[in-house]
Copies of this chain bind each other. A is one copy, B any other.
């Protein structure tokens, strides 16, 4: 085989590719995920992660943000990173489809509209959507809320996204991505508590957070109006920007690694 024409390889090797977004936020002291109700046929009416097919000439991150905008009406702030890739076999009734999943950690934003392929979009507590995988055996029936079943393999993708989020809180500044532009140490602590499902000592957490280089940036301002002593307001320390090489993805800002890590306490029941 001497010369290879500068064309793409045999079309037989091509696969339809989708992106799916695990968009997480913390609201009402609970970790919540953005889900849509599918308006089109495979799994029509079921809950699903926002996502859709990558268009020709489009990059993966572009596709992820476009689908999010189309199905929820917003282009939110927050940190977007690739989660992993699923498929192509045995995950879509239509045939082999590859799906690249993304994780979005964002402060709470309102869902503006239901878009093209989605009948409705709304935040749902992760605990209501995912069966608890405790060794307890049972599915830990929520309080009356019908267990929603997710389309495709989205339950597993969501579980992977939640697990990634939990572990990245320990050793990166990802937690600040869930907070608004300016936030207090208590805001950040509530993020940790909601994601890990534990209670943290406010005094030790404060020392740890303010003493960790690369995590917080002082604004000099404080809260006002609330009860109790005003709290100092911080911004997220400037994200580390990874030098983008010749790549079709990533290369964007990445939450800084924090050292020493904020270790998650030994798993103890939330009550």
Contact = CB atoms under 8 A, between A and B. Distances in A.
Given A82-B85, A88-B60, A247-B153, A94 B17 contact: no
Looking at chain A's contact residues, is the secondary structure mostly helix, strand, loop, or mixed? Answer: loop
Nearest to A88: B248
Contacts of A247: 86-87, 90-91, 153, 156
Given A9-B16, A17-B17, A82-B85, 13 more contacts: A1-B39, A4-B40, A8-B16, A13-B55, A13-B56, A14-B15, A17-B88, A17-B98, A57-B96, A86-B247, A90-B246, A98-B100, A153-B245
A89 B86 CA distance: 20
A5 B4 CA distance: 38
B5 A89 contact: no
A47 to B, nearest CB: 14
Contacts of A94: 4-9
A147 B82 CA distance: 30
Nearest to A155: B245
Given A15-B15, A16-B8, A54-B15, A41 B88 contact: no
Interface in A212-262: 245-250
A53 interface: yes
A43 interface: yes
A140 interface: no
A153 B247 CA distance: 7
11 contacts: A4-B41, A8-B94, A10-B53, A15-B17, A15-B54, A59-B88, A82-B85, A84-B84, A85-B100, A86-B247, A153-B246
A17 B248 CA distance: 14
A44 B39 CA distance: 47
Contact of A14 (B17, B41, B59): B17
Nearest to A40: B4
A12 interface: yes
A2 B156 CA distance: 25
A43 B85 contact: no
Nearest to A54: B13
A39 B9 CA distance: 15
The 8 A-B residue pairs whose C-beta atoms are closest, nearest first, are A4-B41, A89-B248, A14-B14, A13-B53, A87-B248, A85-B85, A156-B245, A8-B95
B43 A1 contact: yes
A194 interface: no
A93 interface: yes
A142 interface: no
Nearest to A10: B53
